[in-house]
Structure 1
Amino acid sequence: MKIRYLMLHAYGMGGTIRTVVNQANAMAAAGHEVELVSLVRRRNNPQFSLDPRISITTLVDQRAGRQPDSIGRKAWRRVRGKIVPRGEFAADYFTERVEWAAMDYVSKLRDGILVTTRPALNLISARRTPGTVVRVAQEHMNLTAYPESIRREIARHYERFDAITVLTRTNRLEYQRLLPTTPIVQIPNAVHQVDQERSQQVNPVLIAAGRLVPQKGFDLLIEAFAQVAPEHPDWRLRIFGTGPRKAQLSGLIEQYGLGEHVTLPGRTDRLEKELTDASVYALSSRFEGLPMVMIEAMTHALPVVAFDCPTGPRDVLTDGVDGVLVPPRDVHALAAALNRVIADRELRVRMGRAAAKTSRAYAPELVMPLWEDLFSELLQGERVADNFWVSNQKDL
């Protein structure tokens, strides 16, 4: 099979980039012809390891900075026929030059499979990729997280896809209601590996990780930990990641007097070791798709305390078994759950053991063959069942 993955920035960091690279590596390892297409390039080297058999193509090289467009960016946003709508989380990337490069690339394809990986790229593919190409749209975020401008365009154009893949059952039901005639296929992302070194529950460390952006709710987590620290002064909160809200989060740490209790170490290349050395994982997101770092934490036998946000946590966790779910954005409930789990090592050990068992459903050896099966069925012209993942998980 010839499989092309079109990404916004294959040289960047982030959960979506990592999961797409993992898929590409698995397809190359299975013997397929794989191309990774990066719409823009702002770094010299990819941040995640690529199988040497994968070819990587850049459409717009921005390492020397953005080149000027023929019209101003504000004017381009008003151009009739422009595909990427306002409200797309990465809309600022899509200047005239960048959007035209994406449209030109997909319109010249004639065969194989094209996998697009975010709404902007999905909409471009839906409207410009020829019908001789098998078109698969990946959705890494829940539908309700998008503004109305994005949902409206999804409803208008996504029916042209051969399949739309989503991460959770909740996502699948949302998209089925919106697009009842289009195959909506549930395939979760896979973790790097499930056989990880497990936490021994000996270090008083609460850990969280992700981009320092409002979505991740680290401001809420810091506020909750301000209620935890007085009861458990020996415990520390470590939030790994980089992003535009670092200064604001640092200000909150100072405001709550948590300088000795909360740290923002930035990005780390040894997150697996940090997870092993921790004792609890916290997910404070305002919304999610499928929180992969949370599942990776579970492979280390870490219990999870999470907001029951849309979507993802409830699709993975069983409240009281492998973690604790609290109402979304309820800081006091989050603090109470953290206090409860932190105070009871026996509970943490029991939940951690269950978390490691739950995480096995996301093993690459289980998930990656689903992609291969899906692509094979689509190339053969078969209509894929909406319960594709469910029907392929009978042995779990």
Structure 2
Amino acid sequence: MKILFFVSSLNAGGAERVASTLANAWGLRGDQVTLVPTFSGGGTAFYEIDSKVEVVWLAHRMRGSWLPKPLAKLAAMRKLVREKQPDVIVSFLTNVNVNVLLGLADMGVPIVVGERTNPAFSSSAGKVLQAMRRRLYPKAQVVTVQTQASIAAFQAMVPGMKQVAVVSNPLPQALDTVERLVRVEENRHCTLLAMGRMVPSKRFDVLIRVFANLAASYPEWTLVIRGDGPQRAALMQQVALLGMGERIRLPGKTSEPWAEMARAHAFAMTSEVEGFPNVLLEAMAMGLPAVTVDCPSGPREITADGRDAMLVPVGDEGALTAALSELMGDGVFRGVLGRRAAAAVRQRYQLAQVLQAWDEVFTAARGGQQQGAQA
């Protein structure tokens, strides 16, 4: 199959990592994959791209064009479709999806667009982009979302979509090579880990406050929050005001998140909203017992309704405190929960399972295109 895959960029990020993983997997199994970052400034690939995948930087195709930049981008995209003659076009992220549908929907190739957040709760798309999404998404043969919980609200927001399919993110295959360095049953020098961009929606301030209230009861535990962002200075000030500088660390972002997970004893996520939290999925795959809030969307599905991790209501600090207390106080429980989490998510989110789901989407998209052509 010839797949033309449009993405915003190949920088560090969740959507970019998933796009790279999928493109590599399709290329390695024999598909002809062209991966096209559309960011007009160009760039470089943060994640490794297999030699079997052709990368075409759209910015390079736009050089020398006399057209205004938006029209030059659409013209370059259309020329690529004529050159590659793909069997299917895939696009990730709302702004890219809108451009792909605007420029390519009339070219006779089935288009699959992917939302990488929960559209009902995400603020990443402004009013203009939302309006264009409502108008253009019905032109896609299939729209993919990452969780079942996203579908109903999204269909209400964007009526008329032909097909909406759930395709979860895959676990990176490289995760299989990372070994756990500690035993979760240990009860000395323990680390509770959290990760993410330091913005209000991650609610790290709540996690800091809850941990500070528990710190005296669990002197062997340290909280480490990995990440960076506009709220980092305020969070560091909060830690200082609580007198928790020795027990709560904010060392910045890391280029080796799995190594950090391998050294930790438990994981916590307190976000008020997520699209599909890769960090929670990967922590559980590493065998970390986890406490997560039941925010929209992803945690409930990833944890199998709270069977494979501790699931607490959003905004309930009492429930979060009780769950963390139970996890931090019982090494045997941590061991049981961590092993259960790893076995469950590695089975449900392995790459082979996700590729099969994409194959079903491609079959539906090509079938829908043929029916539309015959109508």
TM-score range, shorter chain: 0.7 to 0.9
Task: Give the distance between the partners of 2:370 and 2:121, measured in 1 at CA.
Answer: 28
Structure 1: give runs of 5+ residues left out of the alignment.
62-66, 71-95, 385-396
Task: Give the distance between the partners of 1:51 and 1:367, measured in 2 at CA.
Answer: 19
Tell me, yes or no, if the aligned pair for 2:112 and 2:365 is still in contact at 8 Å: no
In structure 2, which of residues 90, 102, 120 is the aligned counterpart of residue 127 of structure 1? Answer: 102
Change (3 A) 1:42 1:275: farther
Equivalence map 1:176-191=2 (5 Å)? 176-177=155-156, 178-179=158-159, 181-191=161-171
Change (3 A) 1:274 1:56: same
Q: Normalised by the size of structure 2, how large is the TM-score?
A: 0.84
In structure 2, which of residues 153, 175, 178 is the aligned counterpart of residue 174 of structure 1? Answer: 153
Change (3 A) 1:300 1:29: same
**Paired letter, 1:162:** Q
Partner of 1:369: 356
Deviates further, 43-52 or 372-381: 372-381
Tell me, yes or no, if the aligned pair for 1:123 and 1:153 is still in contact at 8 Å: yes
In structure 1, which of residues 115, 137, 155 is the aligned counterpart of residue 90 of structure 2? Answer: 115
Equivalence map 1:369-388=2 (5 Å)? 369-381=356-368
**Paired letter, 1:298:** M
Task: Give the distance between the partners of 1:192 and 1:298, measured in 2 at CA.
Answer: 13
Tell me, yes or no, if the aligned pair for 1:176 and 1:182 is still in contact at 8 Å: no
Change (3 A) 1:101 1:352: farther
Task: Give the distance between the partners of 2:163 and 2:257, measured in 1 at CA.
Answer: 36
Change (3 A) 1:5 1:40: same
Change (3 A) 1:22 1:41: farther
Q: 1:236: how far off?
A: 1.1
In structure 1, which of residues 295, 310, 322 is the aligned counterpart of residue 296 of structure 2? Answer: 310
Q: 1:276: how far off?
A: 1.9
Tell me, yes or no, if the aligned pair for 2:192 and 2:265 is still in contact at 8 Å: yes
Task: Give the distance between the partners of 2:42 and 2:56, measured in 1 at CA.
Answer: 13
Tell me, yes or no, if the aligned pair for 1:141 and 1:289 is still in contact at 8 Å: yes
- Say which structure is richer in helix: 2
Q: May I ask how many residue pairs the two structures share in their alignment?
A: 350
Equivalence map 1:35-50=2 (5 Å)? 35-40=34-39, 45-50=44-49
Task: Give the distance between the partners of 1:120 and 1:181, measured in 2 at CA.
Answer: 17
Change (3 A) 1:130 1:218: same
Q: Normalised by the size of structure 1, how large is the TM-score?
A: 0.80
Task: Give the distance between the partners of 1:272 and 1:125, measured in 2 at CA.
Answer: 34
Q: 1:320: how far off?
A: 5.1
1:173 is paired with a residue of what secondary structure? helix
**2:120 is the alignment partner of 1:144:** yes
Tell me, yes or no, if the aligned pair for 1:377 and 1:383 is still in contact at 8 Å: no
Change (3 A) 1:38 1:326: same
Tell me, yes or no, if the aligned pair for 1:322 and 1:353 is still in contact at 8 Å: no
Deviations 1:63-117 (A, max 9, x none): xxxx9xx9xxxxxxxxxxxxxxxxxxxxxxxxx74x4454333344344222221
Equivalence map 1:140-219=2 (5 Å)? 140-147=116-123, 149=127, 150-177=129-156, 178-179=158-159, 181-193=161-173, 195=176, 197-198=179-180, 200-201=183-184, 202=186, 204-219=190-205
RMSD of aligned Cα (Å)? 2.7
Equivalence map 1:1-396=2 (5 Å)? 1-10=1-10, 12-40=11-39, 45-60=44-59, 97=69, 99-108=70-79, 109-110=81-82, 111-112=85-86, 113-131=88-106, 132-147=108-123, 149=127, 150-177=129-156, 178-179=158-159, 181-193=161-173, 195=176, 197-198=179-180, 200-201=183-184, 202=186, 204-318=190-304, 321-359=307-345, 360-381=347-368
**Paired letter, 1:292:** N
**Paired letter, 1:323:** A
Task: Give the distance between the partners of 2:179 and 2:363, measured in 1 at CA.
Answer: 35
Identity %: 31
Task: Give the distance between the partners of 1:9 and 1:271, measured in 2 at CA.
Answer: 21
Change (3 A) 1:335 1:117: same
Tell me, yes or no, if the aligned pair for 1:164 and 1:185 is still in contact at 8 Å: yes
Q: 1:377: how far off?
A: 4.3
Q: 1:287: how far off?
A: 0.6
Q: 1:353: how far off?
A: 1.9
Deviations 1:225-250 (A, max 9, x none): 22222221221111222333322222
**Paired letter, 1:179:** P
Tell me, yes or no, if the aligned pair for 1:191 and 1:296 is still in contact at 8 Å: yes
Tell me, yes or no, if the aligned pair for 1:116 and 1:136 is still in contact at 8 Å: yes
Deviates further, 41-50 or 274-283: 41-50
1:309 is paired with a residue of what secondary structure? coil
Task: Give the distance between the partners of 1:42 and 1:180, measured in 2 at CA.
Answer: 34
Deviations 1:172-222 (A, max 9, x none): 333344435520011100011364534521251111122223332222222
